[in-house]
Amino acid sequence: MEKTTLPKSVVLELTYQCNHKCKFCSCPWYARHVSYPMGQKLNLEQWKYVIDKLYDCGIDNISISGGECLLKDCLSDILLHIKDESWKRGKPSDIVLISNGLIMSMEYLQLFKYCNVHLSMSLPGIETFKWHTGIDNAEGVLYWFQEAQKLGMNTTVNVTVTKKNIHELFETLSLGLLNGASSVLINRFLPGGRGLEYMDEMLLDNEELNGMLNITEEVLTLSNRNGHTGTEIPLCAIQSPEKYKRLSYGTQCAAAKGFFVIDPAGQVRICNHSPRIVGNIFDDNIISDIAYWKTFAQRQYHPTMCQSCKSIKMCDCGCREVANILYGSPSEKDSSAL
């Protein structure tokens, strides 16, 4: 079978479980109408094997997510193993860990500091936090930003922006930063997973999308910080691309080029947003659905409307996986494309 080159970064989804019920959640196993084949969850010894194999394959950066990764019983041992292996192999780097903060503790923060974890906590609004997540815990997340700052940790306030919370985006980002977060990550809501059920209530229109970028730039300028967008945006949907100095935005899909994902059972996907399994980390060749992998790795997916665009080398027309989820092919339009 044909061998493929893996990107240098990987996201490990440690558990299918979560203690939030976010309406915007794109985890494919929460999609009501699509059946995702959840496998047997890996135990500590299996995760250690996976991590060693990933380093053997040339991986440099590991991120941790879920579900909610703090619910994984052996999270501490997995982090300690990554720290030990990365140092042993001369590749020490921060581990990015994404959490909703609900069961955060001082013990976890101290472990994260020891293991060079960069903590990214989700804050999808203040007044609308409960509407988005099912849990009333904005204050709790802000508290843990304060405690992490006291320990000298760098953290990110991570906001999924929807039609429901854009009116309080300025306050949400400001409170995240004032309470100790050192940087900002904003993700426009992308349909997928459970989010497919709430699409009409949450999808940003073009004015709101540009409002999201403008508000974030304003907060970053006032606070003298920098931030990023996490989900790629079609370049022509941005009204004034040159005006963002503090906020960096992506216009090229990184799936299968910059990173890939391993699910709680060792199944491989091109991106956390993708419901499609393309391989298994325990197999010799790892990637079995080479055609789908190459579609992303070789950028064979531009919509017809982009074929003659002079920006095609630097723009992938937003999210190619959301195009597939919504319209049945990675070569369709993104939900935010004009």
Kindly tell me which of 67 and 266 has the beta carbon lying closer to ligand SF4: 67
- Please tell me whether residue 232 binds ligand SF4 under the rule CB under 6 A: yes
**Considering only residues 153, 202, 277, 319, which one is a binding residue for ligand SF4 as defined by CB under 6 A?**
319
Kindly tell me which of 90 and 328 has the beta carbon lying closer to ligand SF4: 328
Q: What residues form DSSP beta bridges with 184?
A: 157, 227
Stretch that binds ligand SF4, among 16-24, 107-115, 149-157, 164-172 (CB under 6 A): 16-24
Cα gap 250→254, rounded to integer Å: 9
- Please tell me whether residue 312 binds ligand SF4 under the rule CB under 6 A: yes
Kindly tell me which of 100 and 165 has the beta carbon lying closer to ligand SF4: 100
Q: Which of residues 93-152 bind ligand SF4 (CB under 6 A)?
A: 100, 122, 133
Total binding residues toward ligand SF4, as defined by CB under 6 A: 33
Stretch that binds ligand SF4, among 55-63, 202-210, 276-284, 301-309 (CB under 6 A): 301-309
Stretch that binds ligand SF4, among 86-94, 169-177, 286-294, 315-323 (CB under 6 A): 315-323
**Spatial contact of 166 and 204, defined as CB atoms under 8 Å apart:** yes
- Please tell me whether residue 18 binds ligand SF4 under the rule CB under 6 A: yes
Stretch that binds ligand SF4, among 61-69, 107-115, 214-222, 285-293 (CB under 6 A): 61-69
- Please tell me whether residue 253 binds ligand SF4 under the rule CB under 6 A: yes
Stretch that binds ligand SF4, among 86-94, 149-157, 214-222, 250-258 (CB under 6 A): 250-258
* Residues that bind ligand SF4 in the complex, under the rule CB under 6 A: 18, 20-22, 25, 27, 66-68, 100, 122, 133, 231-232, 234-236, 253-255, 271, 273, 305-306, 309, 311-312, 315, 317, 319-321, 337
